[in-house]
Chain A
Amino acid sequence: MDLNPLFHPKSMAVIGISLSNDRHPANVIYDKINLRYPVKVFPVNPKGGQLHRNQVYKDITEIPEPIDLAVIAARSTYVPAIVRGCIEKKVGGATIISGGFAEVGRQDLQAEIVSMARAAEFPFIGPNCLGIYAPDRFDTFFLPGQRLIRPESGNVAVISQSGGVLVDQMVKFKAQGIGLSIGVSIGNKALIREIDLLEYLAQDPGTRVIAFYVEGFGQGEGRTFVKAAHQCPKPVIVLKAGKSAAGSRAASSHTASLAGDYTVFSQVLAQHCIAEAKSEYELLAFCEALSCYQDTIDGRIGIITASGGHGVLAVDILSAHGLEVSPLSQSAQKDIYNRLTPSVQPIASVGNPVDLTGSAADEDFIGAAIAMSRTSEIECILLLILPYSPSLSPELGARLSQIYQTEKKPMAAYVPHEDKYRMLIEGFELNNIPVSDSVEGAALMVEALRRCQPC
């Protein structure tokens, strides 16, 4: 099946338009595409007539132009006939927003559209979903544009079984400055499932990271998914909901009792180098970090800080996540020392964490970052930057980013997110270095890089 028309439509039809209710989901979708996106759109309702002076087509087959994507928002009992019409018209694919299928016991209706679509190789998303959000290109969400928080266009794809969770992640992406390549709410995932989107997005030049919110896979489907994710050259992140076993069944063997559903899920992900985000908060940090760095590390971390306390806090968090913050060799310490300014040399500690103290200037951070970038003892640098220090400049973010561009050693930074530090933060973000507003968030960004099981 060719999924391209689903994600790159030039023309769309919205089926199920109301002629009297502007807040009907189909109308909301039609209006936003018509007014805001560079896509040609046609309204469809069996009654025909006019909507805001545009002709309403009685049937999709009456539209005089080819249609790439149909958005179906009609009552579920009408959907099989609509899908048949789309297939007849040779529409590229559909997003079926309507509910009223397997989720309410109408497995028969769902099976009917699936078998038609499969026979005709007609791809559709849903039913019972929000569909697709492609920043600046188009979306099929029935949420009015003025209500939505719209993230920038970027390179992270989010695939979600829940539409609500996807919309919420978009809010958080916007706040954190993470760019979205595409967001897909797959609802009942009757035809197009996680594995299909994984395979499609693995080839999509606009996507560098693929994140999934998963409630569960079908029988044996998890196996296919993790194998494909392991082969995928792009980092894959999974947030699994429903971790507590639904009613612990009495198990007849120790293994069945010890290897519960979530235990297996979690460990099998790690076995296949899939980053498991344990919470929405981790998902966000992982998306941001992996959109910048695609290579994995074993977990040897160097810390550069302007405050001893922050260094200790970061060590605690990193250790709790199984990462290593080991003292540097004498030669590496000497290299750092030699690169520090004369006033900081006598008061800094250069073990690891490297504590440059509150007297640190930009040059001290830069010197320590260059030295750490050049030792193989460290795979990733965690920068803890307290902009209150008198000698740190707003240019520090951009200057440290330059070191990454030259040395190619990944780094993540903590900078308090206050408006007056905006230039420092953007100096990192705009140069593709992930920044968090908390020490823990920055530590999670570092953890994201270690996606594979240690051995």
Chain B
Amino acid sequence: MLTDAMTTILAAAGETGWVLEPDAKRILDLAGIPIPNFILAATVDDALRAAGKIGYPVATKIVSPAILHKTEFDGVALGLKTDEALKAVFDRFKRFDQFKGVLVEEMVAGVELIVGAKIDYQFGPVVLLGIGGIGVELYGDTTVRMAPVSAQDVRSMVHQLKGRRLLEGFRGSDPVDMKSLSDLVVRFSELIMDLEARITSIDLNPVMCSSEGCIVADARIILSENT
């Protein structure tokens, strides 16, 4: 069920055509999908306070309705360890078109996956799972199911990935928490059933998965034109 808080966020994003990362993450959080601690900082002082609260190292990302694919604009800086580094990045980001602030976020690690959604013309909401990160379209190692999906569907999706050994503990690393991955995909698939009329697609990329669990490091919600 969409909550009032979700509807408000979606309505506010209507004009841009997509939902800014901090807002997208709030929607996921409301749906019970794990996200990292983050603070949206409008000024350098806010950013420094945020980093103090979250604790270094931090990840920082540009928040601007003009920038849909942040990495392509060099709008992401990861693993910042000091106030000086954070200040420098903030100064650079604030020159971006339609600057709304900097997202200061705890660093998360793990295998990079993509969890996505699309409203298919013939089949309605479908959910995608695959090997994520910036090479996602290069490798194309993904699998699709009609939503909503069950835990059994998620098992079969993982089984179908060429890169599934990355998840099963590859070269000495611990296997990722499959229960957490399964819960995330199942919940996400239920969320998109409720969002069917309002969105065209969603990328959660990357979703960081480790033995500790799975957490959405970045999220992008593309709205349908009539929202």
Contacts and interface: CB of A to CB of B under 8 A. Distances in A.
A257 interface: yes
B146 A271 contact: yes
Interface in B84-136: 114, 116-118, 120-124, 126, 128, 130, 136
A220 B121 CA distance: 6
B155 interface: yes
Contacts of B118: 253, 255-256, 259, 264
B156 A253 contact: no
A258 B136 contact: yes
Contacts of A222: 120, 122-123
Given A453-B156, A455-B152, A257 B137 contact: yes
A253 B124 CA distance: 17
Contacts of B122: 216-223, 261, 264-265
Nearest to B132: A254
Nearest to B120: A264
Most A Cβ at <10 Å: residue of B118, B142, B155:
B118
A264 B126 contact: yes
Contact of B200 (A218, A219, A221, A256): A256
Contacts of B137: 254, 257-258
Interface string A14-53: 0000000000000000000000000000000000000000
Contacts of A268: 123, 126, 144-146
Contacts of A251: 201
B136 A254 contact: yes
A343 interface: no
A255 B128 contact: yes
A246 to B, nearest CB: 12
A218 B203 CA distance: 26
Contacts of B203: 253-255
A252 interface: yes
A226 B123 contact: yes
A390 interface: no
Contacts of B18: 252
B183 interface: no
B211 interface: no
Interface residues of B, number: 35
A259 B124 contact: no
Nearest to B140: A258
B180 interface: no
A258 B159 CA distance: 18
A259 B116 contact: yes
A264 B68 contact: no
Nearest to A455: B156
B64 interface: no
Nearest to B123: A222
Interface in A115-167: none
Interface string A215-245: 0111111110010000000000000000000
Contacts of B201: 251-253, 255-256
Contacts of A258: 116, 128, 130, 136-137, 140, 142
A271 B153 CA distance: 8
A272 to B, nearest CB: 8
A203 interface: no
A263 interface: yes
A267 B200 contact: no
Contact of B205 (A218, A254, A259): A254
A254 B114 CA distance: 9
The 6 closest A-B pairs by CB, nearest first: A255-B116, A222-B122, A455-B156, A253-B201, A256-B201, A222-B123
